A and B are shown apart, each in its own frame.
Chain A
């Protein structure tokens, strides 16, 4: 799938402002950005719910301009799943196949059975959507789309309706499922952890534009803009250099040989279970956060400290 200078203007603002992207077959691609950045509009343009103001969407090299949602071989997993409440799980999953009218009813039944086994929903075929759990609903929605074998599966924040513990589990299931079916996933999220852990490649969006596209590692370690750097995690900006909190070290006596060494005053700390975030103020008034392992942090580490880091851990300079 390819997007070429895709643009959507509303009367009041530019929701999507000239996006170009090329997805490779079978890849897990994430679009990440804050709410209102245009990621959901992009998805709706691809699905065909909205008409682009300018630009092109190509599927398998062919433009889908003018094609209605029901004519495009893409499928969407909606944020709240949008399962049909009056139909049991199996009928929800069969809905798309029945519409295409290419398969016999026994072939449809076979496909439905297979895809429900794939998402581990055997035995729930006859339940209505409100009779299964949130995680099961999410898998039912996935099955409903996967059974159509779309060229691209669009996922609109499909994990956001789940509680945090379940979310992590479903996340890893989603990844392995995608590997098994080999369908291209376009995953929309505002959660950096989801995007970083799931994606083969990803794009950070802001104000209707793509700030940066690349592998999660590439964007996290070599962000091209301040926005991309800060959206994917916290960054300390000290003396013009960007440094992630996990790379900042603290001690009462500074190291003998570090080139990047500053004295700072601890102003507070946040206990996060597996680690501690230490807030500090530098001599010039700038603030700084260090993430240190829980066992290395001592509550008495207060007052005057030294911070330092390795030059190789610094983010490369950002040209604005």
Chain B
């Protein structure tokens, strides 16, 4: 039995080590080195990269990223909850609806984001349709702003909110809803007092699954936000490409990771307290 366990766990452990632990070690090492003239890293060891992150310029970027990620997560929750509830209460078409939620994953995220550019740009589908209907004279500024970034993030991560919410709502005993109505609660009160509080774990899981990738997103802000809407992900990306400052990029990404880890631990910790 013991030997069997080792046999089966060893490959996974090796893969984790090779693909996770070693790269992480490299990033940590890079973040503590100095910048090479043409990219890469050189000696000496230094902590400067970390202290530079607290420059007000970068603080603004972090703040903006938090804000955009929070708004996107909230929108995903507001949009995702009715969808999840509808699927959970659908009797026969449940499998079909769930597949529809996951359908976008069949195409690359990059292509789907380009599709949004095609829709939103000045000569895009939305603007030209509105113009041909004579509803507007000049194209609306739909692309290259925070709104477009949030739209892209909500679009991209909505399934990650819907699926955990669905899993929670589907387990909700329908007798509880009957009971609430039986005791005099209108459908709205039932939703608010019973269904929503009992789907908290799904909301937390979905919230984390959306918030974390939104916070680190770089593709969506890069393509839909234009140059104006820089988020932490873009900052990291830029350090490895145009700015050629690998140590600083490593430090920023590690701090982002630490912040997310703290957030997750804190939320999970609080959840365990409420369960006790």
Assuming the contacts A85-B198, A86-B198, asked whether A100 and B184 have C-beta atoms less than 8 A apart, the reply is yes
Q: Does B176 contact A (CB under 8 A)?
A: yes
User: Complex Cα distance A163/B176, Å?
Assistant: 23
- Which chain A residues numbered 42 to 60 have a C-beta less than 8 Å away from chain B? 47-49
Q: Do A68 and B179 touch (CB < 8 A)?
A: no
- Which chain B residues numbered 147 to 177 have a C-beta less than 8 Å away from chain A? 173, 175-176
- Size bracket of the B interface: 10 to 19
User: Complex Cα distance A85/B193, Å?
Assistant: 12
User: Complex Cα distance A145/B189, Å?
Assistant: 18
Q: Does B181 contact A (CB under 8 A)?
A: yes
Q: Which of A74, A78, A100 contacts B178 (CB 8 A)?
A: A78
Q: Do A82 and B178 touch (CB < 8 A)?
A: yes
Residues of A within 8 A of B182 (CB): 47-49, 69-70, 74-76
Residues of A within 8 A of B193 (CB): 95
Task: Name the residue in A80, A83, A96, A148 with the highest tally of chain B Cβ atoms < 10 Å from its Cβ.
Answer: A96
Interface size on A, residues (CB 8 A): 24
Q: Does B194 contact A (CB under 8 A)?
A: yes
Residues of A within 8 A of B180 (CB): 84, 95
Q: Do B178 and A95 touch (CB < 8 A)?
A: no
Residues of B within 8 A of A100 (CB): 184
In the complex, how many angstroms separate the beta carbon of B173 from the nearest chain A beta carbon?
A: 7
Q: Main SS of chain B's interface residues?
A: helix
Q: Which of A49, A70, A95, A144 contacts B186 (CB 8 A)?
A: A70
Q: Which of B175, B185, B197, B198 contacts A95 (CB 8 A)?
A: B185
Q: Does A165 contact B (CB under 8 A)?
A: no
Residues of A within 8 A of B183 (CB): 70, 75, 95-96, 99, 144-145, 148
User: Complex Cα distance A84/B18, Å?
Assistant: 48
User: Complex Cα distance A68/B198, Å?
Assistant: 24
Q: Which of B175, B184, B194, B198 contacts A96 (CB 8 A)?
A: B184
Residues of A within 8 A of B178 (CB): 47, 49, 69, 76, 78, 82
Residues of A within 8 A of B186 (CB): 70
Which B-chain residue is minimally distant from A100 (CB atoms)? B184
Q: Which of A69, A79, A86, A144 contacts B181 (CB 8 A)?
A: A69
In the complex, how many angstroms separate the beta carbon of A11 from the nearest chain B beta carbon?
A: 13
Residues of A within 8 A of B198 (CB): 84-86
User: Complex Cα distance A78/B173, Å?
Assistant: 12
Which A-chain residue is minimally distant from B274 (CB atoms)? A86
Q: Do B184 and A84 touch (CB < 8 A)?
A: no
Which A-chain residue is minimally distant from B174 (CB atoms)? A82
User: Complex Cα distance A150/B153, Å?
Assistant: 51
Residues of B within 8 A of A (CB): 173, 175-176, 178-186, 189, 193-194, 197-198
Closest CB pairs A-B (n = 4): A99-B184, A96-B183, A82-B179, A82-B175
20 contacts between A and B (CB under 8 A): A47-B178, A47-B182, A49-B178, A69-B178, A69-B181, A70-B185, A75-B182, A78-B175, A78-B178, A78-B179, A80-B173, A80-B175, A84-B180, A84-B194, A85-B198, A86-B197, A95-B193, A99-B183, A99-B184, A145-B183
Residues of A within 8 A of B (CB): 47-49, 68-70, 74-76, 78-80, 82-86, 95-96, 99-100, 144-145, 148
